[in-house]
Amino acid sequence: MLIVPEREIAGLISASDCFTAVEQVFASMAKKSAYNFPVIREAIGHADALYGFKSGFDRESLALGLKSGGFWPNNMAKGLTNHQSTVFLFDADTGKCRAVVGGNLLTALRTAAASAVSIKYLARPDARVLGMVGAGHQSTFQLRAALDQRPFEKVVGWNLHPDALDRLAKVAAERDAPFEAVDLDTLGGQADVVITITSSFAPILKATQIRPGTHLACMGTDTKGKQEVEAELFAAVTAFTDEIAQSVTIGEAQHAVAKGLISADDIVEIGAVINGDHPGRTSAEEITLFDGTGVGLQDLAVASATVDLAVRKGVTVDVDL
Ligand code: NAD
C-alpha cells in the first residue's frame, strides 16, 4: 500500500491536473459510468466535530475508494486546519487498499477545479469581470482557478467582513488583475461570472442583483440549511450541478425545491454538457448557475492522479498492511 503524505501534495499535482481529473469524472458521472455512494456526515459529540465519508466508483478510470474526514472547529488553536481529510483508494480488481493520500489540499484544489469547469462550459465567451462572494480559506483557490480559465480583466469582491478581502486582492495582484471591494449591488451589476464561496445559512445574492447573461458558480452550500442565493434567483436560472441527488438535498437547489419553485428534473448534470449531450448556455441573455456540492468522485479523481504522479516521482511511502 502506498502513502502520499499531505506535505508532498503541493509538489505533485497542479491546478491544471485537477481541472482535467474533475472534468473527466463529471463526464463519467453523466454517462453513468461513475457513481457516488450515499454520503455519511455525523456530529460525533466530541470536540464539536462533524465527521463523515464521501465515496464512489468510476468504472472508466477504476478509481474506487472514499474520502473520510470533516470539520474540527477547535483545530486552529492547535495549529491545525479545521477541515481535515484523508483519501483511501482501493484496487478495483482485488479490493486491496492501494493508497492513502493526504486530502486537505486536494479538497481545496478539486473544489476550485469544479467552478473552473463550470466557467469553461457555461460562462459567456466575452465574460470579462469576475465577482467573488466570500473571502475565506477556499476563496483564493476558486479565484486562482477562475483566472486560469478565462482572461478576466477585473475582479470585484464582497465579503461579510471586508477586511478579509485583502486575501483576494493579493491573488488578483499576482495575476495582474485589478481588484475592487464592492457592495453586492455593484458586484452583480458588473460581474459576468460570480463565484459564491461562503458558509452562509441565509441568501446573500438576490434575483434583482444579477444581470442577464451572468454565470453563477455557487460553491459554498454543501450541507442542509446552507444558502447563498435567493430561491427565486435559483428558480430563474438554467441550473447545472455536479450531482442532482446532492444538489436537491444538500446543495443550493434545496431551497427552491423546498419552496416548490423547481424540481430535480429542472437541473442538468454538467457532465452532460461536457459530453455534448446538453447544449449548456444557449443565449447571451440566459443566466446559468452551477450548484457545486462537492462529490466523493472528485476526491477520488484528484487523489488517483496524485498517486500516479507520486509513483513517477518516487515520493510514495510503501508499506505492507
Ligand atoms: P472559511 O471559514 O475559511 O470562510 C467562510 C466564508 O464564509 C468567509 O468568507 C465568511 O465571511 C463567509 N460567511 C460566513 N457566514 C456568512 C454569512 N452569514 N453571510 C455571508 N458570508 C458568510 O471557509 P472556506 O474554507 O472558505 O469554505 C467556505 C464554504 O465552502 C464552507 O461552507 C465550506 O463548507 C464550503 N466548501 C464547499 C465545497 C464544495 O465542494 N462545494 C468544498 C470546500 C468547502
- Taking only the tens of pLDDT, the chain with its 321 residues reads 999 999 999 999 999 999 999 999 999 999 999 999 999 989 999 999 999 999 999 999 999 999 999 999 999 899 998 999 999 999 999 999 999 999 999 999 999 999 999 999 999 999 999 999 999 999 999 999 999 999 999 999 999 999 999 999 999 999 999 999 999 999 999 999 999 999 999 999 999 999 999 999 999 999 999 999 999 999 999 999 999 999 999 999 999 999 999 999 999 999 999 999 999 999 999 999 999 999 999 999 999 999 999 999 999 989 998
Q: Does residue 116 sit within a domain?
A: no
Ligand 1 atom with the shortest distance to the CA of 108: 43
Tell the residue nearest (CA) to atom 18 of ligand 1.
Answer: 200
By most ligand atoms within 8 Å of CB, the mutation choice from 109, 115, 138, 163 for ligand 1 is 138
> CA-CA distance, 139 to 191, in Å (whole number)?
16
Q: Does residue 88 sit within a domain?
A: yes
Please tell me whether the overall predicted TM-score, pTM, comes out greater than 0.95 for this model: yes
CA 196–ligand 1 middle distance (angstroms) = 9
Determine the pLDDT at residue 93.
98
Q: Are 310 and 316 in contact (CB under 8 A)?
A: yes
Q: What is the CATH number of the domain that holds 83?
A: 3.30.1780.10
By most ligand atoms within 8 Å of CB, the mutation choice from 199, 204, 298 for ligand 1 is 199
Please report, in angstroms and rounded to a whole number, the separation of the first and last CA atoms in the chain: 7
Q: Catalytic residues, which ones?
A: 67
Q: Does residue 144 sit within a domain?
A: yes
DSSP annotation of 241: E
Domain match, 135 and 276 both: yes
CA 316–ligand 1 middle distance (angstroms) = 32
Q: Which three cell numbers stand for residue 276?
A: 455534448
DSSP annotation of 263: -
Is the four-CA dihedral 115, 300, 198, 39 of positive or negative sign? positive
Q: Does residue 112 sit within a domain?
A: no
Tell the residue nearest (CA) to atom 37 of ligand 1.
Answer: 220
Determine the pLDDT at residue 321.
85
Domain match, 52 and 136 both: no
Domain match, 39 and 130 both: no
Is the four-CA dihedral 233, 239, 240, 243 of positive or negative sign? positive
Q: What is the CATH number of the domain that holds 207?
A: 3.40.50.720
- Residue 134, helix vs strand vs coil: coil
Q: Does residue 114 sit within a domain?
A: no
Class of residue 157 by CB neighbours under 10 A (exposed 0-12, middle 13-18, buried 19+): buried
Domain match, 241 and 310 both: no
DSSP output for 267-290: EEEHHHHHTTSS----SSS--EEE
Q: Does residue 113 sit within a domain?
A: no
> CA-CA distance, 25 to 16, in Å (whole number)?
14
Length of the chain: 321
Q: Are 109 and 67 in contact (CB under 8 A)?
A: no
Q: Does residue 115 sit within a domain?
A: no
Q: Does residue 58 sit within a domain?
A: yes
Q: Measuring CA to CA, which residue among 149, 254, 221, 240 is closest to residue 192? A: 149
Domain match, 57 and 7 both: yes
- Residue 261, helix vs strand vs coil: coil
Looking at the structure of the chain, the number of domains it has is 2
Domain that holds residue 159: 121-294
Domain match, 282 and 308 both: no
Domain match, 56 and 137 both: no
Domain match, 308 and 224 both: no
Domain match, 63 and 138 both: no
Q: Are 97 and 88 in contact (CB under 8 A)?
A: yes
Domain match, 141 and 284 both: yes
20-58 b/e with 16+ CB inside 10 Å = b?
ebbbbbbbbbbbeebbbeebeeeeeeeeebebbbbbbbb
Domain match, 198 and 172 both: yes
Domain match, 72 and 165 both: no
50-58/63-71 β-pairing: antiparallel
